[in-house]
Amino acid sequence: QVRHLVNTGEEIPREIHIEIENVINSSTPKLARNSIARSSKLLNWCQRQTEGYRNVGVKDLTMSWKSGLALCALIHRYRPDLDFDSLDERDQERNNQLAFDVAEKEFGICPCMTGKEMSSVVEPDKLSMVMYLSQFYEMFKDTVPPGNQNLSPEERAALIATTKSPISFFSKLGQSIAISRKRNPK
């Protein structure tokens, strides 16, 4: 009964061979396509969020993040009080540790490694980076960054319409108000 599961050197019966091919061909490419599409969507979002920042050019989900500047730029987009201009591209450990600390303290996003580990790896692990950056995406995908508060009523309504739930909307609205209060003390 289990002989077909053991490689005995005998040729696999054609019916089993076709069934195995069908399983592989029908499921694997679809999973791969979905994974590639999600990674591409995440990369595009990260590129838009970090566009225009000094010494930041996000081209991938690994090496573009090694210096820590891209991560700090992403955080600065939603937390303008992070002093991006004071960062030194050569101090990768400090940049990454700052980003990991701020993301954990302010956004509740646990770091995927330490600043020292990030600066010492040859290339950051893609899966770790995708998982880490996905948390930023999920948190901010429907959020208007501070400084873009001068939206027209139509743009604001479109943003609200794309928000997944009222709870999510009110949570993000509360975050936006809290950030505004921090910058404009009474």
Q: Answer whether residue 162 shows pLDDT above 50.
A: no
Tokens at residue 27, please?
Answer: 């499921």
Contact 78, 50 (CB under 8 A): no
Q: Using one digit for the tens of pLDDT, what is the confidence trace for 80-97? A: 888 999 999 999 999 999
The pLDDT mean for the chain works out to 76
Tokens at residue 165, please?
Answer: 């739930």
The pLDDT value given to residue 72: 95
Domain positions in the chain are: 3-141, 142-186
Residue 58 CA, chain-centre distance (Å), reads 12
The pLDDT value given to residue 163: 44
Length of the chain: 186
Cα(92)–Cα(106) distance, integer angstroms: 21
Percentage of the chain beyond pLDDT 90 is: 48
Percentage of the chain beyond pLDDT 70 is: 58
The band of 143, judged by pLDDT with boundaries at 50, 70 and 90, is: confident
For 67: left if phi > 0, alpha if psi spans -120 to 50, otherwise beta; the answer is alpha
Give the three-state DSSP class for 166. Answer: helix
Q: Using one digit for the tens of pLDDT, what is the confidence trace for 167-177? A: 445 555 555 55
Q: Answer whether residue 100 shows pLDDT above 90.
A: yes
Q: Answer whether residue 161 shows pLDDT above 90.
A: no
1.10.1670.10, 2.60.40.10, 2.40.50.1070, 1.10.418.10: which CATH number matches 3-141?
A: 1.10.418.10
